[in-house]
Amino acid sequence: MNEILRNKLDNLTTSPGIYQFKDKAGKIIYVGKAKNLRSRVKSYFTAKPTGPRLIRMISLISDLETIAVDSEVESLILEMNMIKELKPRYNVNLKDDKTYPYIVITKELFPRVFPTRKRRNDGSKYFGPYTDVGNMRQSLKLLRDIFMIRNCNLNLTQQSIENKKFKECLEYHIHKCEAPCIALVTAKKYNEMIKEIEKVLNGKTGTLINELEQRMADAAMDQRFEEAALIRNKIKSLEVYTSRQKVVSEDMLDKDVFGFVKEADEACAMILNIRDGKVIGKRHFYLDTVEDKSDSEILESVLFRYYSENNFIPDEIYLQNELVDQDAFSKWLHLKLEEKRKINFVIPQKGEKHKLISMVRTNAQYMLDELKLQRLKREFIPHSVTALKRDLRLTALPRRIECFDISHVQGTDTVASMVVFYDGKPRKNDYRKYKLQTILDEVGRPDDFASMREVIYRRYRHYAEKNIEEPVNIGTKILQEINPEVREDNSPSTQLNNEVFDETNNPPSTDLVTGEAGVTNTLPMPDLIVIDGGKGQLSSAVKVLTDLGIKSQNIIGLAKRLEEVFLPGMSDAQSIPKTSSGLKLLQRVRDEAHRFAITYHRQLRNKRTIHSELDDIKGIGEKTRQKLLTEFGSVDNIKQMVENNYDEFEKKAGKKVAERLKEAFSNKKEE
């Protein structure tokens, strides 16, 4: 314990408040609350700590800060809000499913009701979240079938309605809306309907039905039979809706049942919502950093998070164990209530109430098991990957495989492709395509070996430059082997068949998919490189990797004709059973690289063959070119018009376009 920390401990107050423990870097690692700050904080350093996590936390404490407050309720609220915002390392961490939707009732003169996934502090009321999206949609459909809620986005203010800014829409004519936009319903009556909707969303459907039955009887007594019929239809729809809900309690009290299960450093908490004796919904939280936490601490974290995000507070709250600061929680919940009433915390030990707790804990166990199962699925390695490791006798699993292929037609539009498979599945975001120069051998034939050396160099050069002293000279050496005309000097660039490679910065845009320079070096090194070809292509790739200083890299060649697999330094093909799933994986990877290369080659070839002379004329854009070809049919017809009937051409094409074409065609003749 340092001197600063010792002095702060000696001067602590005895009032309630919160405390923050910090490490050497000043980062908050734990936030806690206390009725008496002095006794609570000192207990960490005087009592014997239990559990490895608590021992580790105490060893990291270098400083502390305290905030004194007036009451336990204030310390509770401040502690939980700070934990939620700062997420300290040694506090219980609740991993909420934030993508679940809510139903929101907006704070407007004529409120709207719609689903949303974002909570805003705008005074609106939020119901949910709904873990079952189908249940949420069913609830919304029920509301819109029974109640005439507006579904437009109009900004309905008193002034805009009085000024008759809006007109009624189709929803009014099909009796789905009462048209508040044209003042056919008052704000008071509309908001009475919104109150009924709130009761349905809060699960108080039974209470609402009783109120509607009384209103229906009153309307019939006053001979308002049309109004009574509308209320009767509402009651029937609500009864159908409630009949689908499971009855779990004979009394009509509203309850929330909390339960959780803990395994090692993880836990899952479940909340069951019971309204008027029927289950209307549930919610769960996953928690970590709970190994050294008491059951009370876990429950306190869950309770605060849940009720800070929900407006409705039930009559009874069932817990599987007592809370340390139960009085503080009770006072905090009373502050949230709009109407003052009693809230009971119940810790059942037997009977039907205890069965409810057991049911919730069972469901929480299912959710925790499901989380573990999903992790196992993410960590699952396909059999084809393990089979390939066995067949090739690799030292590590070939989880990431990169395969290269060359494509061209008699040396024109030469391209290369690189496809990536991870755990046996294509990862298309990592695919790359390379536009290569036409590389010919001594007798003028396409040289696939030189093309393979070029693409391997361009893909892996960045990893070598981190480990070699003179990357420019190494790059020059490799490029000279591809093309002897490359100059040898100390300048930062070398030239290869009119294509420039910047060896100290990122490569040119033609290296990569979509022309993004420098993307290559963002990809990790593969576990296995597959070269589409036989021993010649494999040897070319291995030589480039060796020159770059990349050693111990798993690389193979896969020949198309007999599906032979070649390893570096071996003259004979590797013996792999034809039925092996590892070989079939290699074939899928090779076929995908071939498809990707062929597709890119066809794109370049089509682009080249449909190129027009008009594309090379400055000032003639795409739209102008299309208009000219549509009007005159072909470039030859345009040339004839310019030469033989210029005045007529100028009238149709325009003066500026005609002048540019005439000048361009004249310059071409002179050349």
The β-bridge partners of 524 are none
Torsional sign, CA 584, 590, 595, 598: negative
464 within 8 A of 549, measured Cβ to Cβ: yes
d(CA 111, CA 292): 47
Please, what's the b/e burial string for 360-399 (b: 16 or more CB within 10 A of its CB; e: otherwise)?
bbebbbebbeeeeeeeeeeeeeeebbebbbebbeeeeebb
Q: What is the 8-class DSSP label of residue 109?
A: S
Phi and psi angles of residue 146, each rounded to the nearest 5 degrees, phi first: -90, -45
414 within 8 A of 366, measured Cβ to Cβ: no
Do the domains 386-601 and 255-377 match in fold? Answer: yes
Torsional sign, CA 219, 223, 224, 226: positive
d(CA 391, CA 485): 42
**Token duo for residue 523:** 């990809």
pLDDT at residue 245 in the model = 60
Q: Per-residue DSSP letters for 497-528?
A: TTEEEESSSPPPGGGSGGG-TT-GGGSPPPSE
Which overall architecture, per CATH, does domain 3-91 show? 3-Layer(aba) Sandwich (3.40)
Q: Per-residue DSSP letters for 541-589?
A: HHHHHHHTT--S--EEEE-TTT--EE-TT-SSPB---TT-HHHHHHHHH
Q: Per-residue DSSP letters for 596-657?
A: HHHHHHHHHHHHHHT--GGGGSTT--HHHHHHHHHHHSSHHHHHHHHHH-HHHHHHHH-HHH
115 within 8 A of 102, measured Cβ to Cβ: yes
128 within 8 A of 102, measured Cβ to Cβ: yes
- Long-range CB contacts for residues 303-308, cutoff 8 Å, separation at least 24: 303/258, 303/329, 304/76, 304/80, 304/329, 305/80, 305/84, 305/94, 305/96, 306/256, 306/271, 307/333, 307/336, 308/80
The CATH class for the domain spanning 255-377 reads alpha beta
Instruction: State the virtual CA torsion across 466, 471, 474, 478 in degrees, nearest 10.
Output: 80
Rounded to a whole number, what is the distance in angstroms from the first to the last CA of the chain? 88
Q: Per-residue DSSP letters for 138-202?
A: HHHHHHHHHS----------HHHHHTT-----HHHHTTS---GGGTSS-HHHHHHHHHHHHHHHT
Among residues 219, 218, 217, 195, the alpha carbon closest in space to that of 207 is found at 195
Residues 6 or more apart from 541 whose CB is under 8 A from it?
404, 452, 453, 456, 529, 531, 555, 557
Cα–Cα distances in angstroms (integers) from residue 400 to residues 133, 221, 452, 593, 643, in the given order? 37, 78, 20, 14, 62
pLDDT at residue 456 in the model = 92
The CATH class for the domain spanning 386-601 reads alpha beta
Q: What is the 8-class DSSP label of residue 270?
A: E
d(CA 325, CA 333): 13
Q: What is the 8-class DSSP label of residue 534?
A: S
Domain ranges within the chain, ordered by starting residue: 3-91, 102-243, 255-377, 386-601, 613-670
Is the pTM higher than 0.85? The answer reads no
Mean pLDDT by 10 residues, the chain (671 residues): 80 87 89 88 81 84 86 83 85 70 88 86 81 77 84 88 88 87 90 88 80 86 85 81 63 84 88 81 84 85 84 86 84 78 85 87 88 74 89 89 89 87 92 80 74 90 61 46 45 34 33 36 84 88 89 87 83 84 92 93 75 71 79 80 85 85 76 58
582 within 8 A of 556, measured Cβ to Cβ: no
Neighbours of 650 (CB within 10 A): 18
Which contiguous run of DSSP H or E holds residue 239? helix 225-243
d(CA 269, CA 130): 16
For β-strands 400-409 and 412-422, DSSP reports them as antiparallel
pLDDT at residue 500 in the model = 31
Q: What is the 8-class DSSP label of residue 246?
A: P
d(CA 294, CA 380): 34
The β-bridge partners of 270 are 259, 284
For β-strands 255-263 and 316-318, DSSP reports them as parallel
**Token duo for residue 456:** 């391997």
Instruction: State the virtual CA torsion across 197, 202, 205, 206 in degrees, nearest 10.
Output: -140
Radius of gyration, CA atoms only, the chain: 37
Instruction: State the virtual CA torsion across 571, 577, 583, 584 in degrees, nearest 10.
Output: 150
What residue type is 493 in one-letter code?
S
pLDDT at residue 531 in the model = 93
